[in-house]
Amino acid sequence: MFDPGRPLGEIERRIREVAARGPAKAPAVFSEGPRWHSLDAEKALATLGSRPTGLTWGEARSLGRRHGRNLLTKIARRNGFDIALDQVTTLPVALLAGTAVISLLTGGVFDAAIVLAVIIVNGVIGFVSETRTEQTIASLEASALPSARVLRHDGEETVSAEQLVPGDIIVLHGNDAVPADARVIAADRLTVNEAMLTGESLPVVKAANVLA
**Which DSSP string corresponds to 84-96?**
HHHHHSSHHHHHH
Q: Name which of 7-11, 138-142, 161-165 the model is least confident about.
A: 7-11
Helices (H), 36-144: 41-47, 57-67, 80-88, 91-105, 109-142
Stronger pLDDT, 5 or 117, i.e. the higher one: 117
Domain ranges in the chain are: 36-57+146-206, 80-142
- What is the band of 111 on the pLDDT scale with cuts at 50, 70, 90? confident
**CATH code assigned to 36-57+146-206:** 2.70.150.10
Stronger pLDDT, 9 or 205, i.e. the higher one: 205
Q: What is the pLDDT of residue 31?
A: 55
| φ and ψ of 150, to 5 deg | -130, 160
Please enumerate in sequence order all residues whose Cβ is within 8 A of that of 160, keeping only pairs 6 or more positions apart, or say none: 145, 147, 148
Cα dist from 165 to 46, 58, 122, 168, 185, whole Å: 15, 12, 47, 6, 16
Q: Which of 66, 60, 56, 36 is nearest to 209 (CA)?
A: 36
Q: What is the pLDDT of residue 9?
A: 67
> pLDDT tens digit string along 89-105?
888 888 888 888 888 88
Q: Residues 207, 210, 212, CA angle at the centre, nearest 5°?
A: 125
> pLDDT tens digit string along 20-60?
675 655 555 455 677 877 888 888 889 998 988 889 999 99
Centre a 10 Å sphere on the Cβ of residue 71 and count the other Cβ atoms it contains.
10
Residue 4, pLDDT > 70, answer no
